[in-house]
Chain A
Amino acid sequence: MAGSGHLERSVLQVLWDHPEGMAARDILPALDGRDLAMTTVLTVLDRLRRKQLVARHDDTRPHRYFATVTREDYIADIMLDALGQARDRRAALVRFLGGVSAADTDHLRRALRRGRPSSDG
């Protein structure tokens, strides 16, 4: 459902804004303008943990949640797929610029991570 994807996105964004980690109950008010139940947030966090996007530190109370990858790395991986560099994934997408350039993947990965997304859009 589009709705659940939207929620996962919002939670990830909040965690990306707080690299030091957050308790679930602090995430809830940070999801501004939403009337959500705590259980919903926990469900979303569980789903993100299954996707290995979020980790939980259990040695503190309350448990703290972290994003496991930075936003830049995460988006860079999407871009690597989009540019058709990962061999297995070549056929997964149909690109505007079909065909594949023979560029070295490591080089591309570095180049993509250098290019940080602009915050002002």
Chain B
Amino acid sequence: MLLQVEAAGLFGVAVALAGPVSAALARAGWPAREPRAALVLWQAVGLGGGLGILGAGLTLAVGTLDDRWLPGIAELPGHLSRLGVTGWVGAGLTLTVGVWLVVVTEVSMARVVLARRAHRQRLDAVAEILDHESRAMVRVGGVRLVDHPRAVAYCLPGLRPRVVLSRGALAALDDGELAAVLAHERAHARGRHDLVIQPFVAWAATFPFLPTASRAVAAVELLVEMLADDAAHRTCPSEDLRRALWHLARDQDAVAGHSGASLGVQVAARASRLAAPPRPLPLVARVLVYLAAVALILLPPALLLLF
């Protein structure tokens, strides 16, 4: 009976993480003060939720065979005939969610890899590679330049990442702003921020019916931007970065043909954060966040193995 209780508990944890916990984390103000810790917590919420739902089904199935978890797992393959209706419901849940999770993640990753490769080929065919002399005051070596009057800046991630600017961006930014944008993009490339975002995109694709999944993607994207802002801030004045944000956001709103309400939320959050940097979290709070992240992942299996 105990295992059934634990299965219900795991299910509850998964539902809580996918629902109210993600919603609260997406709304919370403190992540802007400590983006790195918040990202780790997001990863733990995603992983803990996934393991929770997989573990709940498995535990339910095992519970019909044995009172203890590990021996029950060992018995499972040989005693499928002894699984009752409850057991099959549990096994079915784990199997369905597991297969679905793997397939969607693979498809999502393959899509990203293909899109990235296609973009790289496209880019390499027309982009001019800037050399150090193009902007004497700023280290622009290796930056790819796309000849378009609209202002965009981005990072094409990968083992050999490319930082890309449009000619419009080059024209819109003064030397200080350009240095800030490049520092920001190089932080994305160096930190492999694409790998941080990717699981959440896959998660959102797996559970498209969960509003929290897409909210998680947006929250994680914003945190990654803040992380890159902080990295740029270490070498450039925050005022330069803020003005660069403003220039590029204004141009993009013009392209999109609207006043930028949707783009504005994230950009505004970053701009105000740069204008008045929030105090970092106290050490105790930071440690608590990391502990919570570890607990989310380790506690459920520990409870299963111990009792």
Question: Count of B residues near A, CB < 8 Å?
Answer: 59
* A99 in contact with B126 (CB, 8 Å): no
- B131-163 contacts to A, CB under 8 A, are 146-150, 152-157
Q: B116 near A: Cβ within 8 Å?
A: yes
Interface string of A50-91 (1 = CB under 8 A from B): 010100000000000000000100111111011100101111
For the A-B complex with A9-B125, A9-B127, A78-B123 known, give 18 more contacts whose Cβ atoms are closer than 8 Å: A12-B126, A75-B147, A76-B148, A82-B152, A82-B166, A83-B256, A91-B115, A93-B116, A94-B155, A94-B185, A96-B248, A97-B249, A98-B221, A98-B225, A99-B221, A100-B262, A111-B257, A115-B255
Tell me the dominant secondary structure on chain A's binding face. helix
B300, CB-defined interface residue at 8 Å = no
- Pick from B149, B152, B155: contact of A83, CB below 8 A: B152
Q: Would A71 and B129 count as touching, CB distance under 8 A? A: no
Contact with A along B238-252 (1 / 0, CB 8 A): 000000110011001
Q: Indicate whether A19 reaches chain B with its CB closer than 8 angstroms.
A: no
What is the distance, in angstroms, from A8's C-beta to the closest C-beta of chain B?
5
Q: Which residues of B contact A31 (CB under 8 A)?
A: none
Shortest CB–CB separation between residue A24 and chain B, in angstroms? 18
| Given A88-B111, A117-B167: A97 touches B126 (CB 8 Å cut-off) | no
A15-35, CB under 8 A of B: which get 1 and which 0? 000000000000000000000
Residues in chain A near residue B197, CB distance under 8 A: 91, 94
Using Cβ atoms and an 8 Å threshold, which residues of chain B touch A107?
A: 256-257
Interface centre among A8, A82, A86, A118 (most CB of B within 10 A): A82
Query: Per-residue 0/1 for B200-233: is the Cβ within 8 Å of any A Cβ (1 yes, 0 no)?
Result: 0100000000000000001001101100000000
B234 at the binding interface (Cβ < 8 Å): no
Of the candidates A48, A78, A83, the one whose C-beta lies within 8 Å of that of B119 is A78
A112 to nearest B CB, angstroms? 7
Interface size of A by CB at 8 A reads 45
Interface SS of B by simple majority: helix
Given A5-B125, A79-B166, residue A96 in contact with residue B257 (CB < 8 A): no
Question: Is the CB–CB distance between A96 and B125 below 8 Å?
Answer: no
CA distance A8 to B123 in the complex (A): 11
Could you tell me the distance between the alpha carbons of A41 and B225 in the complex, rounded to whole angstroms? 42
CA distance A92 to B258 in the complex (A): 24
Interchain CA distance A120-B112 in the complex, whole Å: 35
* Contacts A117-B147, A117-B148; A97 near B245 (Cβ below 8 A): yes
Interface centre among A5, A95, A98 (most CB of B within 10 A): A98
Pairs A-B, 5 closest by C-beta atoms = A103-B256, A5-B124, A96-B153, A99-B266, A92-B115
Interface status of B164 (Cβ within 8 A of chain A): yes
B193 in the interface (beta carbon within 8 A): yes
A10 CB to closest chain B CB (Å) equals 10
- B62 → A minimal CB distance (Å): 36
Nearest CB of A to B191, in Å = 9
The residues of B that contact A108 with a CB separation of less than 8 Å are 255-257
B14 → chain A, closest Cβ, in Å? Answer: 24
B residues in contact with A82, CB < 8 Å = 146, 152, 154, 164, 166
CB distance from B58 to the nearest CB of A (A): 30
Q: A79-B148, A96-B248 are in contact. Are A101 and B258 (CB under 8 A)?
A: yes
| B124/A112 in contact, CB under 8 A | no
A119 vs chain B, min Cβ distance (A): 9
Residues of A within 8 A of B149 (CB): 115-118
- In the complex, the answer to whether A78 meets B257 with C-beta atoms within 8 Å is no
Q: Contact at B181–A96, with CB atoms within 8 Å?
A: yes
B119 x A92 contact (CB < 8 A): yes
* Contact call B122/A121, Cβ cutoff below 8 A: no
- Among B122, B244, B257, the residue within 8 A (CB) of A77 is B122
Flag if B193 contacts A94 (CB, 8 Å): yes
Asked whether A101 lies within 8 Å of B252 as measured between CB atoms, the reply is yes
Minimum C-beta distance from A54 to chain B (A): 10
